[in-house]
């Protein structure tokens, strides 16, 4: 049989020199003219086919072999054993060659399943490389889908850690306006510590997260991606209709356009449910459990103490917080790998900064500093603002104005500023104590609220696992008597 290299050489010589005779080509390639002629006539490349080693010894057993292989699912060694007992005297090679030719491969398939409204959500993520601000950037696309309505929620992050995953699920539940009975995930380490069936173990922090939101964790077994196919399949649509060929001015621009794309996805006709996800999400929401009153706070959230110049340090840079939190402890959380979110101990959002890409930067929001605010606003104007929010406390204003004639405006302005950061019930309790003790200063109100709302001066890591309290806390009024003895809270 002619070799592939010789066949190519013959074809090439003839193509470049049509007038070249068979004898000339034969002399150059050192192959007989007859073989050259056959090669030129044969349009297909030569291929070696091994002669079948199947002999007539297997002919009487072919039907039996077919049944044992494809019906009984016997292994080749078992089939050979059975044939030997039935009188087969041929070789093993011939049998295995026959098995290869008659084996029927079982096609993998899965049965699609549907869930009732509010029963299941599915979550997954995938990394992509996109152009942001002219530079190639790795971005994590995170997708959550409500299984019944197919209402899908997309998020993006520059980080792929557990905090980023939890934040995406939280944002998705918030947009869905409720919590399903269970959420289906894969076996990533952020969810599962050990994925094996014999020693399976959920990630402890993920279980705490599930407990906070009140849904049951559910996973796809290894090798069973179809069990969360509702969330995996749409990634192909995301890749083809949003990621491919797109570029973005900034990361916030990517997030904005991703949400526009999300609206497009949820308002298009879905091939399976024969309607739009937007029309069906209402049934999901009717069956959802209610969202908790606060977001989850875990051990990965960091704690910082604010300096007296209203700055805190994070990753080598400094960021500002509102003036009334100078010297206090605050929570930090990195959002989407791009933003730094700052919360008070009462879980109130204080500030959001864009993370600095370089060390040593000082990021300041000028509104966090109030150098002389009372000079711009009259007491009467501040009185109107105060009464609009707290109409039952006109007596407080009268006593404040009588006791602090020279600087009542400054105290009232600071009191209104403090009111923005605390629950109205807590703030009213502070006003009641002020009336009871006849002390009308911003420092007193601020001190009462700090004692009432925060857990402890030193923040332990154990407290980070627990949901921040939303119920009223009863305190001994004797604790507030200590405030009257502090030098900076004496009546002025």
Looking at the domain that runs over 302-368, which CATH code has it been given?
2.30.30
- Inter-residue contact 430 to 449 (CB < 8 Å): yes
How far apart are alpha carbons 228 and 146 in whole angstroms? 11
Instruction: Tokens 């009336």: give the residue.
Output: 435
Q: How far apart are CA 299 and CA 217, in angstroms?
A: 20
362: CB partners within 8 A, 6+ apart: 311, 317, 318
Spatial separation of the C-alpha atoms in residues 418 and 322, rounded to whole Å: 10
DSSP single-letter state for residue 186:
-
Torsion, Cα 413 415 421 423, to 10 degrees, reads -140
pTM metric for this prediction: 0.53
Say which residues have a Cβ less than 8 Å from residue 98's Cβ, sequence separation at least 6: 54, 58, 62, 65
Nearest partner of 429 among 459, 450, 458, judged by Cα? 450
Task: Collapse the DSSP code of 460 into the 3-class scheme (helix H, G, I; strand E, B; otherwise coil) and give the result.
Answer: coil
Strands 152-157 and 216-219: unpaired
Do you know the residue count of the chain? 492
Packing angle between helix 62-70 and helix 76-85, nearest 10 degrees?
A: 140
DSSP string, 224-292: -GGGGHHHHTHHHHHIIIIITT-EESSHHHHHHHHHHHHHHHHHSPPTTTSS-HHHHHHHHHHHSBPPP
CA distance 295 to 169: 11
Task: Determine contact, residues 390/428, Cβ cutoff 8 Å.
Answer: yes
Backbone angles phi, psi at 292, to 5 degrees: -70, 165
Q: Which token pair is 343?
A: 């919360």
Residue 4: how many CB atoms within 10 A of its CB? 12
- DSSP code string of 282-307: HHHHHHSBPPPSS----TTSEEEEPP
Q: Residue 150: which of 63, 21, 279, 321 has the closest Cα?
A: 279
Domain 120-287 adopts which CATH fold?
Nucleotidyltransferase; domain 5 (3.30.420)
Coil vs helix vs strand at 387: helix
Reference 2, options 55, 38, 49; nearest CA is: 38
Q: Quick check: 280 and 150 in contact, CB under 8 A?
A: yes
Compute the distance between CA of residue 223 and CA of residue 59 in angstroms, rounded to an integer.
40
Tokens 């794309």 locate to: 261
pLDDT at 170: 93
Q: Of all helices (H) and strands (E), which one includes residue 352?
A: strand 349-354
CB atoms within 10 A of CB 318: 17
* pLDDT given at position 491: 38
Question: Can you point out the beta strands (E) in 109-196?
Answer: 120-132, 135-146, 152-157, 182-185, 192-194
Q: Give the pLDDT confidence score for residue 458 in this predicted structure.
A: 36
Please give the Cα distance from 76 to 430 (Å, whole number).
Answer: 84
* Contact call for residues 185 and 203 (beta carbons, < 8 A): no
Q: What span, in angstroms and rounded, lies between the C-alpha atoms of 440 and 403?
A: 7
Tens-level pLDDT at each residue, the chain (492 residues) = 677 777 777 877 777 788 888 888 888 888 888 888 888 887 666 665 555 545 578 888 888 888 888 888 888 888 988 888 888 888 888 888 888 888 876 555 555 557 889 999 999 999 999 999 888 889 999 999 998 999 999 999 988 888 889 999 999 999 999 999 999 998 889 899 988 878 889 999 899 899 999 999 998 875 555 444 455 566 788 888 888 888 999 999 999 999 999 999 999 888 777 889 999 999 999 999 999 987 786 644 678 888 888 888 888 888 999 887 888 888 888 888 888 888 887 777 888 898 887 788 888 888 887 654 444 567 887 888 888 889 999 899 888 888 888 888 888 888 888 887 788 888 899 999 999 999 998 889 888 887 766 533 333 333 333 333 333 334 444 443 444 444 444 333
Looking at residue 465, its pLDDT comes to 32
DSSP β-ladder status, 302-305 and 201-202: unpaired
Classified as helix, coil or strand, 359 is: coil
Which two structure tokens, joined as six digits, stand for 61? 């057993």
* Residue 64 CB partners (closer than 8 Å, separation 6+): 82, 83, 86
Question: Of all residues in the chain, what percent are helix, strand and coil, respectively (each to 5)?
Answer: 45, 15, 40
């Amino acid at each position: 049989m002619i070799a592939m290299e010789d066949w190519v050489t013959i074809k090439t010589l003839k193509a470049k020199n049509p007038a070249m005779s068979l004898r000339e080509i034969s002399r150059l390639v050192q192959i007989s003219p007859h073989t050259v002629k056959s090669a030129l006539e044969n349009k297909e490349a030569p291929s070696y086919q091994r002669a079948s080693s199947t002999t007539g010894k297997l002919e009487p057993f072919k039907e039996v072999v077919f049944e044992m292989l494809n019906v009984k699912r016997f292994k080749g060694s078992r089939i050979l054993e059975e044939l030997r007992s039935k009188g087969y005297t041929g070789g093993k090679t011939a049998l295995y060659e026959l098995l290869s030719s008659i084996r029927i491969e079982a096609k993998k398939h899965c049965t699609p399943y549907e869930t009732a409204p509010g029963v299941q959500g599915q979550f997954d993520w995938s990394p992509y490389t996109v152009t942001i601000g002219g530079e190639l950037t790795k971005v994590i696309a995170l997708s959550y889908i409500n299984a019944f309505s197919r209402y899908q929620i997309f998020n993006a992050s520059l980080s792929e850690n557990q905090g980023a995953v939890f934040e995406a699920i939280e944002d998705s539940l918030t947009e869905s306006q409720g919590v399903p009975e269970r959420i289906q995930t894969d076996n990533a380490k952020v969810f599962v510590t050990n994925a094996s069936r014999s020693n399976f173990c959920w990630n402890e922090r993920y279980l705490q997260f599930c407990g906070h939101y009140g849904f049951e964790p559910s996973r796809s077994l290894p090798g069973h991606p179809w069990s969360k196919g509702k969330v995996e399949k749409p990634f192909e649509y995301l890749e083809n209709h949003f990621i491919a060929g797109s570029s973005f001015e900034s990361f916030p621009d990517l997030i904005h356009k991703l949400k526009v794309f999300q609206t497009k996805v949820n308002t298009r006709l879905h091939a399976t449910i024969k309607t739009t996800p937007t029309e069906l999400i209402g049934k999901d929401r009717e069956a959802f459990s209610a969202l908790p009153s606060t977001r989850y706070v875990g051990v990965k959230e960091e704690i910082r103490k604010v300096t007296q110049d209203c700055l805190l340090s994070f990753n080598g840079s400094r960021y500002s917080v509102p003036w009334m939190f100078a010297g206090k402890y605050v929570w930090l959380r990195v959002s989407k790998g791009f933003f730094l979110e700052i919360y008070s101990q009462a879980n109130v959002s204080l500030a959001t900064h864009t993370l600095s890409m370089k060390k040593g930067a000082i990021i300041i929001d000028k509104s966090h500093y109030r150098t002389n605010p009372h000079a711009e606003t009259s007491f009467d104007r501040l009185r109107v603002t105060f009464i609009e929010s707290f109409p039952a406390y006109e007596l407080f204003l009268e006593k404040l104005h009588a006791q602090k004639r020279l600087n009542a405006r400054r105290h009232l302005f600071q009191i209104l500023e403090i009111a923005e950061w605390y629950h109205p019930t807590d703030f009213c309790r502070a006003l009641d104590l002020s009336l009871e003790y006849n002390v009308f200063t911003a420092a007193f109100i601020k001190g009462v609220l700090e004692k009432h709302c925060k857990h402890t001066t030193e923040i332990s890591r154990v407290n980070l696992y627990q949901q921040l309290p939303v119920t009223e806390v009863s305190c001994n009024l004797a604790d507030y008597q200590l405030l009257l003895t502090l030098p900076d809270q004496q009546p002025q």
